[in-house]
Structure formats: structure tokens, C-alpha cells
Amino acid sequence: MTRAVIAWTLEKLNAGYSVAIATIIEAKGSVPGKPGAKLAIIKNGEKYGTIGGAGLELKVEKALKNLLSTPKDMSSKGGKIEKFLLYKNGKGKEVTPLDSLCGGQVTVSLEVIDSLPHILIIGGGHVGLAITSISDILGWSHSIFDVREDYANSKRFPNAEEIHNSFVCDFLTEEDIESMSRFSDILLLGHDWNVDQEMLIGLLSIMDENSRPRIGVIGSKSKWSAFKKAALSVNISESIIDSTRCPIGLSIGAHSPEEIAVAVCAEIMAMEKLHNNYED
């Protein structure tokens, strides 16, 4: 069961959810769940595993939901350890009493694991390469798409999760809104504005303004104006178009590929923390 709960947790993390996990780390007397038993839950209520059921599980599930719904900042704790006494007359003791006659006691670890970014980089040029270097340092995942084989291969990007070298239309044919949710962000950094525009319109055609991933485009305001006009011409709603960021990156006066990469990754970090604190 532990392995299955961990596998489920990894699946949800890869889909962009924060996951709250309860683990029984100590048990005394008659208790429904033994050490190692796990329960995992995400904010929409979907859950997997069990720590024994009954009143204990209901109490722990409520505590996990509270952890997920409480905004976190840099100084906050990511979890807690709580003791539960499975006996209704346990009031006044340093434990949480439950309406039970079992008489046992369990110690439960409660923690929240936040998802990490997985960036799809469209364009394996200098900026894309610099972004992958920072991603590696931060422990983020990255994947690469480029119509040019020389800029989308395992030698240039040895740590990439996925490498896509194809026409834009061929890539998009294999994707839909659900499959694209494996990425937290898509960054359009192509060498050719035609490639970026085709990819942008294709992505916006299968997504909505609230769906994952976030989309960002490198470039000037005039470039974005042309992209927006092209997207409107094929009847993509303005609200979906406006959910795209252009230009990308925090305004720190970045010029070199490495400086731009720092600005872009800092922006993603800020958005990811907001997402993990207030995700629906």
C-alpha cells in the first residue's frame, strides 16, 4: 500500500497538484492503522490510501485539508506531528481525543509536498539552454521542442525529460489539454517567429485561461501585438490570449541569455509559490 500511495502522490505532483500526506509513525495498543500506513489527498478532495478508517481517518483527513488550504510563506512550517488517543475520555491530555473505545494511541506525521515546475522550452537556442542550466540547479524538470534537430537532441540537453524534434503540427496532433498538464510552463523562445506563432495558436486552441500550463513568450510588445492579432483572427477568445505572458521574466534589466534565464526562472518561482498557496 505504501508503494501505491507514493506512486499516486508522484502522479498528482507531476500533474501540478500539491499533495498532503499523513503517515502513522508510531502506534500503541489497539489501533486501526499500523506504522507506515499512509493517506494522501489533494485540494479537490481526491484521495488515496488509508490510515485505518473510522474517526481517526476523518480527523486526519480534516487536518490534511486544513494544511492544503492554509497559505504558506517562506517562514511557515510544511507540516506537523500530532498524537491521537482513541478513547473518548482522553480530554486534558497532550493528545487529540477521539470518540472511540479502542484505547490505543497513534502518532501521525502530516505534511504537504508541493509540485515542482516542469518547463517545456520551445526553442533550444542560447536562452533555452541557459534556462535548462538554472532548472537543473533548482531541481526543476525541463523538456525541449525545436524543429531543428541540432537544437533538440540528448547531447545538447542531457537532462531533458522529453526531447521533441518535429514540425509544430505533428507535435500538437499528439497533445490535448489533459496531456499538456504535465508541464507547469511552456516558454516560446523559438528562433523563427513563424514557429512561435504557430505553436502559440495551436496551444491556445486546446486550452483555457485557467488550465495548466502557463504560457510565456519572449519578445517585444510589437511582436506580441502581431501574435495577438493572429490568434484573434482564428477566433481564439481574448481572455485565453491575455492569459499568456509576453514579455516573460522579471524586469531586472536582463540582456544576456543567462540574465534572461534568471529573470524567467525567478518569475516562474514566484508564480509557482502563488499557485501552491492558493491553487483551486
**118-278, which class in CATH?**
alpha beta
Confidence (pLDDT) at 189: 95
- DSSP code per residue over the chain: -HHHHHHHHHHHHHTT--EEEEEEEEEESS-SS-TT-EEEE-TTS-EEE-S--HHHHHHHHHHHHHHHHS---TTS-SEEEEEEE-STT-TTSSSEE-S-S---EEEEEEEEE----EEEEE--SHHHHHHHHHHHHHT-EEEEE-SSGGGSSTTT-TT-S-EE-S-HHHHHHT--TTGGGG-SEEEE--SSHHHHHHHHHHHHHT--TTSSSEEEE-S-HHHHHHHHHHHHHTT--HHHHHTSBSS-S-SS---SHHHHHHHHHHHHHHHHHHHHHH--
What type of residue is 229?
A: K
Q: What is the pLDDT of residue 53?
A: 72
> What string of DSSP letters covers 44-77?
TS-EEE-S--HHHHHHHHHHHHHHHHS---TTS-
Full pLDDT tens readout for the chain, 280 residues: 689 999 999 999 988 888 999 999 988 877 777 889 999 999 889 999 998 877 788 889 999 998 888 766 544 556 889 888 765 554 545 445 554 545 678 899 999 998 899 999 999 999 999 999 999 999 999 999 999 999 999 999 999 999 999 999 999 999 998 899 899 999 999 899 999 999 999 999 988 777 779 999 998 889 999 999 999 999 999 999 999 999 999 999 999 999 999 999 999 999 987 766 655 4
Residues of the chain with CATH 3.40.50.720: 118-278
How high is the pLDDT of residue 70? 77
Given this model, what pLDDT does residue 280 score?
A: 47
Give the per-residue pLDDT at 57.
86
Q: Each residue of 137-146: b (16+ CB within 10 Å) or e? A: eeebbbbbbb
pTM over 0.85: no
Query: How many whole angstroms separate alpha carbon 79 and alpha carbon 166?
Result: 44
